[in-house]
Structure 1
């Protein structure tokens, strides 16, 4: 979370004149105050039984003990439960007494003092601040256990590759090829795409690769040119015409699964305006538009039908054709947002400017069912995914 920086104000004279009859007798805490000019003293301190509180409104600040520095804003912690352990009466010079609570968040990473009228008793209701669409799905029961605008189609960027790679596995399962089948990668547009500074990653240095090689490049590195080449292979050819045919197959599969909020125009998840310079725009809508709930269903089909996808999706990095494939899932072991108890072992990240940061996560906490979580257009996709997973398990929803 971003913490509002302490600003020295130029309105001290006006602020000092503002008083409140309901307790503070101070300047509003949402205003900037000159710490050097305003003095607060502690009148009394008493312990209290540990009690949960959460924000009453978006207004409010967590202060340090001397009331000279803002530790955090309540607006920046919209779904945090604060645990109060002390009552502290503070007084501003020339003002009246005001009751504060000494509080700390559940993880113990943020603590300070908050005016009592800025919080209300009880644990905070759970929510996700940043995700525009989100869902948590119990893989075993196929039940949605938490959602936020889950049926609204949104651009999903590279999460689209889950559908592409599922159809690759389906073709192999149906006898249409093997991991060792050769995929034509000689197309100049795909080679150019692999070298692009924004949309590249895995360069085609050969005119053909195995299905297995491109599958790993698309799943782990999120290679766009690999996904497109695989799509053409599934459709039976190696030209942009087969790319268009493959996208029809993506939409047909979505219809077979009853996904009413899914529409595909890209095998890789890149938008049409980005694909055009490489010869792979098919016209029509600019982006794949899929709801969070439908994304979760695609992921569930993939995991249930081809469980070993999780073995590959949990690879953090590997070398292929002299190039490094890097997995951007930062909830895997050893990564910044890893939490051992969640046992996250997949599944797919995505980002474009229209889609924002997207993430499909999956894991199984001991004693619980496996869950799939989806967050779309989320500024803090890993933080919020971890919060969602913990909420589901803490509430025994799966």
Structure 2
């Protein structure tokens, strides 16, 4: 099942509100700032991230959620869908995954649809950046503050090269967050953590505390990018994180942006344009209805992906860890989506 979405991805980055004209991330020439529609500021993004604003797009309605312990989170999530989450699914199709770990969950009810080694913790590579994004979004830091990439941001457990970012590059925090989620830039993750109000060590403490608060008992983070193989989680833990990330407007929209051109200032060499695109081909090509996405790869983790897909009007969270190669990862993903299309509800 490969159908092109009937709804356009033109709203991709910041179009989570119905605004006259199209609302997207418009980078002003010679400036590093975001415009929302005709507004030359980040006020809308801040409202979404910090004020629990409910914002409708032309394809779906999403809501930010203030999350405390897991029990409150589950109750809030369930209550918000009380009108349409009561149906059960029946299934005659065949789910399988060649990835080492997998979990498919109904995003409305939390009901497990398919699982494989769902409670085995494995390295998760750049899927770590989902938690990084969540902590950034809840930090209260000004999204319009300029973040400068430092040489320290390239000093990571593994070599952290970049074909996009350089030492001295400057973007505001929201643009850095977009670059991290869409292009999976490791220096962007490190820069966001380093410039947190509590500093780098405080940021890492918040990542691990957030995991505990959500009930992610098999999860630990040692760096914000996922290059540290000690960053581990299980598919079941990541499904908890995925259900939250999907409902977080800015994370959802940023992680499903197909491509973007950034006008970036460098303190030494001045302005240049950076072209970047999503690491998920299903997002880049507009295949399927993907409401949240993050890929990952390091040698220890294999090929990983976590995403939300809405099939037949029903959202599901899919987690795949430890695929031996990229081809297997995407074959697993497409098989699962195909089987979801054959679900029937009673």
TM-score normalised by the chain length of structure 1: 0.56
Q: Does the Cα contact within 8 Å between 2:93 and 2:339 map onto a contact in 1?
A: no
Deviations 1:347-383 (A, max 9, x none): 11111111111011212123x3211101001131111
Find the aligned partners of 2:160 and 2:225 in 1 and give their Cα distance.
Answer: 14
Q: Take 1:359 and 1:168, find their aligned partners in 2: how far apart are those partners? A: 21
Per-residue CA deviation, residues 291-326 of structure 1 (Å, 9 max, x unaligned), is: 01111211211222x224332222221112211212
2: distance between equivalents of 1:146 and 1:218?
Answer: 29
Q: Secondary structure at the match of 2:171?
A: strand
Are 1:350 and 2:296 counterparts? yes
Q: CA deviation at 1:232?
A: 2.1
Matches within 5 A, 1:155-170: 155-170=123-138
Distance 1:346 1:147 in 2: 20
In structure 2, the residue matched to 1:204 is 166
> Is 2:134 aligned against 1:188?
no
**Cα offset, 1:344, TM superposition:** 2.1
Counterpart residue number, 1:374: 319
Bigger Rg, which one:
1
CA RMSD in angstroms comes to 2.4
Contact preservation (8 Å) 2:154, 2:161: no
Aligned counterpart in structure 2 of residue 258 of structure 1, from 215, 218, 231 = 215
**Structure 2 contact 95–114 (Cα < 8 Å) conserved:** no
> Structure 1 residues 235 and 155 mapped into 2: Cα distance closer, same or farther (>3 Å)?
farther
2:232 aligned partner:
289
User: For 1:370 and 1:233, how far apart are their aligned partners in 2?
Assistant: 35
Alignment counterpart, residue 196 of structure 2, candidates 234, 238, 242:
234
1:313 equivalent to 2:270? Answer no
State how far apart, in whole Å, the 2-side matches of 1:191 and 1:209 are: 17
- 1:332 and 2:277 matched: no
**Cα displacement (A) at 1:132:** 0.4
Cross-structure match for 1:301: 244
Q: Hey, what does 1:4 align to over in structure 2?
A: none
Please state how far the C-alpha of 1:124 moved relative to its aligned partner: 8.3
Superposition deviation, residue 235 in structure 1: 4.7
Asked if the contact 1:160/1:267 (under 8 Å) is kept, the reply is yes
| CA pair 397-189 structure 1, distance change in 2 beyond 3 A | farther
Q: In structure 2, what is the equivalent of residue 111 of structure 1?
A: none
Q: What is the rounded CA distance, in whole Å, between the counterparts of 2:205 and 2:233 in structure 1?
A: 15
Residue in structure 2 matched with residue 393 of structure 1 by the alignment: 341
Question: CA separation of 1:203/1:391 partners in 2, compared to 1, >3 Å: closer, same or farther?
Answer: same
Question: How far apart, in 2, do the equivalents of 1:124 and 1:259 lie?
Answer: 30
Is the 8 Å Cα contact of residues 167 and 234 (structure 1) preserved in structure 2? no
Match 2:305 to one of 359, 362, 379: 359
Give structure 2 stretches of 5+ with no counterpart. 1-91, 265-272
Which residue does 1:21 correspond to in 2?
none
- Cα deviation code 1:112-131 (max 9, x no counterpart): xxxxxxxxxxx985321x21
Aligned residues: 242
The residue aligned with 2:179 is 217
State the SS of the aligned residue for 1:247.
Answer: helix
Residues 144, 174 of structure 2: 8 Å contact kept: yes
Query: Is residue 151 from structure 1 mapped to residue 113 from structure 2 by the alignment?
Result: no
Q: Which has the higher contact order (CA 8 A, sep 6+)?
A: 2
Q: Return the offset for 1:191.
A: 5.2
For residues 219 and 135 of structure 2, the distance between their equivalents in structure 1, rounded to whole angstroms, comes to 16
Change (3 A) 1:234 1:143: farther
Would you identify which runs of 4 or more consecutive aligned residues in structure 1 move more than 6 Å?
none
Structure-1 separation of matches of 2:206 and 2:220: 11
Per the normalisation by structure 2, the TM-score is 0.64
Greater alpha carbon shift after TM alignment, 153-162 vs 373-382: 373-382
